[in-house]
Amino acid sequence: MLDILIPCIAGLIGVIIGGIIVVVAFNLKTKYEEKKQLRNQELMFTVKEIETLNLLNAKINDILQKGLLLKPEYVSFDAFDDCYVPIDDFVYLKSFASQNNFYLPTYLIEEFFKNISHRRVILSPDETVRLGGYTYTGGRIILETFSDELVSIMEEKKRHMKALTNQPLSYFLKD
């Protein structure tokens, strides 16, 4: 009887130890997969933030360049830092900021719109329609500062992404 009992107990202990090893290995694998998934989600979110900031910065730079091209056509106060913003571009900025507010730094956007709205030159409605936009006294400086802040935030996000991954960030490398 003892000859049968000892191998059965040894087999049962082996099955229990094997089960414990499987449970521990499964839990470790599950935790690893969860952390990997969270890191990938954070990387995807950061990429979306950077893309959104880049699109907003491109539009700001486009507005700055349009102002230089259209300078003879709009009201000039003989100051280099005045800025012309077409109505459709201003509406685009507002709608872009509201649609992508989850990916944009809210405080920075609010401060930008507050600062730029305080600089708007009051024109008659006919003159605004003729120009097709608004003129902002000192608006160029505000737009350039805002663009610089966006670039610095993008660089910070890229450094954060680099810290999250051990692989090079080929998505943002210039060809």
Burial 60-69 (b: 16+ CB within 10 A, else e): beebbebbee
Confirm if 137 and 119 have CB atoms less than 8 A apart.
Answer: yes
Taking only the tens place, the pLDDT of each residue in 22-63 is 999 999 999 999 988 888 888 889 899 999 999 999 999 998
In a domain, 64, yes or no: yes
Q: Give the residue with greater pLDDT, 74 vs 140.
A: 140
pLDDT of residue 175: 43
In a domain, 47, yes or no: no
Q: Which of 168, 167, 161, 138 is nearest to 39 (CA)?
A: 161
pLDDT mean across residues, the chain: 83
In a domain, 1, yes or no: no
Structural domain including 125 reads: 56-165
Taking only the tens place, the pLDDT of each residue in 79-100 is 566 777 888 888 899 999 999 9
In a domain, 66, yes or no: yes
In a domain, 17, yes or no: no
Q: Which of 126, 150, 118, 133 is nearest to 66 (CA)?
A: 133
In a domain, 18, yes or no: no
Tokens of 129: 């329609």
Query: In total, how many domains does the chain have?
Result: 1
Confirm if 140 and 64 have CB atoms less than 8 A apart.
Answer: yes
Distance CA 133, CA 146 (A): 20
Confirm if 79 and 137 have CB atoms less than 8 A apart.
Answer: yes
DSSP helix/strand/coil, 85: strand
In a domain, 43, yes or no: no
In a domain, 69, yes or no: yes
